[in-house]
Amino acid sequence: MTAGKRSTKQKIADAAKNLFSTHGFGQTSLDDIITAAGITKGAFYHYFKSKEIICQEIIDSVQIEYQNIFKSVSGELNPLEQLKAVIAKIVELNNSGQWVNCELMFRLGSQMQTLQTPLKQKIESFWKSCFSSYLSIITQCREAKLVNEKLSAEQQAKLIIDLLVAAVWRKTVFDDNIDTGIIDYIIENLK
């Protein structure tokens, strides 16, 4: 594939991702994507068979981005510092205004009941992967005696995700940045 084709495909995916994160899947039409990307319908279908397919590919790329955040944290940090670094990076990216992954997954997740099965499965797979990544770090924290055991590791991982989802919800509704104080709040309440 040439660089021009690759950039056109990416331009379409970026336009769709922004629209899905702002309006949701059901409220974004194929025409909305075509207009936002500045392409023809034929160009869209050259790269993607349907709106569902482009959304599935976007979710795959978002999942990879999240996995890369977890992988990018220095192994020289203790597990609790790694967890803090992951959460800080996610908050930083959300506050940058350039990264819409959390808003996208929040919006898609809130619409799951109206989506077709393949798309639902992609969203579920993303959240399971996200949960698994947090659970892995929490388990390491527990083994190193860096967090309390008042809650199970599963409950702690869910709590982290729930707090971040709530922060993203607030950002979406009130159009303001995620308060970086949430990072310390999460970490302190795990100790």
Q: How confident is the model at residue 119 (pLDDT cuts 50, 70, 90)?
A: very high
pLDDT average, residue stretch 144-163? 94
Given this model, what pLDDT does residue 170 score? 86
Given this model, what pLDDT does residue 191 score? 85
Which residues, including other chains, have CB under 8 Å from residue 40's CB and lie 6 or more apart?
Answer: 34
Residues 72/82, Cβ–Cβ less than 8 Å: no
Rounded-to-integer distance, Cα 161 and Cα 133, Å: 11
Rounded-to-integer distance, Cα 128 and Cα 142, Å: 20
Q: What is the pLDDT of residues 77-101, one digit of tens each?
A: 999 999 999 999 999 998 888 788 8
Rounded-to-integer distance, Cα 104 and Cα 179, Å: 19
**Residue at token pair 């009941």:** 113
Residues 30-34: contacts with CB under 8 Å, at least 24 apart: none
The CA–CA distances, whole Å, from 69 to 4, 14, 109, 152 equal 28, 20, 21, 24
pTM metric for this prediction: 0.88
**Residue at token pair 């309390």:** 148
- What CATH number was assigned to the domain covering residues 50-188? 1.10.357.10
Rounded-to-integer distance, Cα 105 and Cα 65, Å: 13
Rounded-to-integer distance, Cα 146 and Cα 164, Å: 21
pLDDT average, residue stretch 149-172? 91
3 pLDDT more than 60: no
Share above pLDDT 90 across residues of the chain, in percent, rounded to a whole number: 70
